[in-house]
Structure 1
C-alpha cells in the first residue's frame, strides 16, 4: 500500500525498568543454560502499572515531542495490544479518552497480534484526510499469573511497555512511504496449541504457554506438510518485503537499518538471511536488552536508532513484523530530518 503524504510527527515511548537475565537466572525464573545460547540480557517489567497507563504515558510523551499539537485536535485514535488490558467488558481506549484526548475522536482497540501497529498505520493512512492527525498507541503489561514472561516462548523473554505514534498528513520528521500487512491462513493455528476455542483461556485460568503450543503446531505440521508451510512463510515474507520496497520506490540496498520483532538471535538472523541481510543490519542487539514488547518492538527500536545517532536525514528504515495468524507486515520510512529532542542528546 503506497502512502503518499503520510508522516510521523513524533514517537512517544514509555519503558519500565529492565530486570536483567542474571537476576532472572539467580531467582530461578530463567534457565541458566539458555542465557549463553540465546544471548538475551533482560526484559522491561512494569510491575503493577496497567497497560493503559503505559499507553497514556507514551502518548503524552509523543505530544510533548510534537511541537505543539493538541490531543483535542485528533481525528482518529487506534489502540493496539496483544494481552488483557484491564477489566473484562472494558476497553483501554476509553482510558486515554478520559485522561488525554476527550470523547469526540473516533477511537478503537485493535487486536492483530504483534503486527497491530502496522495494521493501525494502514488504517490511519486510509482514513486521514488533508490536515488530519491520528494517534496510534500500543501497550502491554504481561505481568499476569497466566504468563511466565521468562519461559513463555523458547529463546524469548517478554517485556512490557508503551509506544505512541502521531501520524499526520502534514510533513513530519519521517515519511511513511509504504506499508503492507498480509496473513498466511494455512498457519492460522500456530498459536492455538490444539486447545479448545471455548471456553476462552482466561475464563478458565489456562496459562499462555507458546512454547508448548508451538511444539504442538509443529507436530501437526509434520503429519501434513510442515516443510511446505515453513517455506510459504519465508516466501510470503520475501514477496511482501519486495512489494513494499517497490511501492516505496527503493531497493533493499538503500535501506540503512532493519527492525524485526525482538527475539532469539538465531530466529532474527534466519529471517534477515532470507533478505540477504545479517544480524548486524538489524536492531536485535537493542531488543535483546528489553524483551519482546508485543506490538511495539519495531517502533521502540526506531526511537532508539534516532536517539543513538544511527540514522540521518535521507535514510530509509525497513520495519518487518511477524505475528500470529500467521501475520506478516512491512513498512518503509524515510527520515526527513532529525528532531531536536534526538539531535540534542547525540555525542559531538
Structure 2
C-alpha cells in the first residue's frame, strides 16, 4: 500500500533492564554450550511489571516527545501484542483508556502475531483522515509460568518491552512511504505444535515451546511438501519487499538500514545475504541480540535505537521487515525527514 501524508510524529519506548546471557548461564537458565555460536547478549526483563503498564509508559514517552500533542486528541488507538496481557476477559487497551487517552477514542486490541504493529500501521493508514492522529502501541511481558524466555526459541531469547508510535497525517520526523502485510495460509500450522485447538493452551496450562513446535513441524514437513513450503515463504517475502520498495519509489540500494525481527544471526544472515544481498552490518541484528525478541516491537524499538545513536540522518530511508506465525510477513519503508531534538538530548527510555 502506497501511503501519502502519513508521518511518525514520535516514538515512545520502555525497555526494561537487560539480564545478561552470562547471568542466565550462571543461573542455569541458558545452555552454556550455545553461548559462543549464537552470540546473544541478553534479554530485557520486566519482572512483574504487567505488559499494559509497559505500554502505558511507552505511550506517555511518545507524547512527551510529540511536541505538545494531547492524548485526548486521538482518533484511533490500536494495541498489539502476542502474549497474555492480564486477567482473562479483560482488555488491555482499557487500561490505557483509563490512565491516558480517555474513553471517546476508537480503541481495540490486535492479535496479529509478531507483525502486529505493522498491521496497526496498515489499518491506521486506511482509517485516518486529514488532520487525524493514531496511537499504536505494542507490549509484551514473557516472564510467565508457561514460558521459558531463555529456551523457548532455539538460538534466541525473549525480551520484554513497550513501544508506542504516534502517527499523524500532517507532520512528523519520518514519512511512511509504504506499508504492506500478507499471510501465507498454507503455513498456518507452523506454530500449532500438532496439539488440539481446543481447549486452548492457557486454559490447560500447556507451556509455549516454539523450539519443540518447530521441530514437530519440520517432522511433519518431511512427510509432505516441505521444500515447496519453504520456497513459497522465501518467494513471498522477497516479492513483498520488492513491492513495498517499488511503492515507496526507491530501490534497496537506497536504503540506509534494515530492521528485521530480532532472531538467530545465522538465519538472518542467510536471508539478508542470500535473499537480499545485505550483510548483518546493514541490519539491526547486533542491537536485537542484546535485548531479545520483543514480540511485536522489534523493528520499531530498533528504529528508536538507530535514531538515538546517530545512525540515521535526514533523507535516509529505513526498511522494516516483519515475519511471524501464520506465516505472516510485513514490510514498511520510512523516510527520515529530520532528527527530533529528543534524540539529541537523550530523554527517558
> TM bucket by the smaller chain?
over 0.9
Shift, 1:222, TM fit: 1.2
Q: Which residue of 1 aligns with 2:231?
A: 231
Q: Which residue of 2 aligns with 1:263?
A: 263
**Matched position secondary structure for 1:115:** helix
Q: Which residue of 1 aligns with 2:315?
A: 314
Q: Distance in 2 between matches of 1:216 and 1:265?
A: 22
Q: Distance in 2 between matches of 1:65 and 1:3?
A: 24
1:29-80 Cα offsets, whole Å, 9 max, x none, are: 0000111100001000000000000000000000000000000000000000
Q: Distance in 2 between matches of 1:169 and 1:279?
A: 34
Shift, 1:266, TM fit: 0.6
Shift, 1:264, TM fit: 1.1
Q: Distance in 2 between matches of 1:172 and 1:68?
A: 12
Q: Which residue of 2 aligns with 1:81?
A: 81
Q: Distance in 1 between matches of 2:271 and 2:331?
A: 13
Shift, 1:345, TM fit: 4.6
Q: Which residue of 1 aligns with 2:218?
A: 218
Shift, 1:342, TM fit: 1.1
Q: Distance in 2 between matches of 1:182 and 1:220?
A: 24
Shift, 1:344, TM fit: 3.5
Q: Distance in 2 between matches of 1:233 and 1:11?
A: 31
Q: Which residue of 1 aligns with 2:111?
A: 111
Q: Which residue of 2 aligns with 1:286?
A: 287
Q: Which residue of 2 aligns with 1:323?
A: 324
Shift, 1:343, TM fit: 2.7
1:40 matches 2:40? yes
Matched ranges for 1:117-196 at <5 A: 117-196=117-196
Q: Distance in 1 between matches of 2:259 and 2:293?
A: 12
Q: Distance in 1 between matches of 2:123 and 2:37?
A: 39
Q: Which residue of 2 aligns with 1:12?
A: 12
Shift, 1:167, TM fit: 0.2
Q: Distance in 1 between matches of 2:227 and 2:38?
A: 24
Question: How many corresponding residue pairs?
Answer: 346
**Matched position secondary structure for 1:325:** coil
1:278-309 Cα offsets, whole Å, 9 max, x none, are: 11100000000000000000000000000000
TM-score (norm 2): 0.98
Q: Distance in 2 between matches of 1:305 and 1:339?
A: 12
**Matched position secondary structure for 1:288:** helix
Where structure 2 has 5 or more consecutive residues not aligned to the other structure, the ranges are: none
Q: Which residue of 2 aligns with 1:72?
A: 72
Q: Distance in 1 between matches of 2:72 and 2:268?
A: 40
Q: Distance in 2 between matches of 1:21 and 1:207?
A: 22
Shift, 1:106, TM fit: 0.2
TM superposition outliers: structure 1 runs of 4+ over 3 Å: none
Q: Which residue of 1 aligns with 2:276?
A: 275
Q: Distance in 1 between matches of 2:267 and 2:260?
A: 10
Q: Distance in 2 between matches of 1:219 and 1:237?
A: 23
Shift, 1:93, TM fit: 0.2
Shift, 1:171, TM fit: 1.4
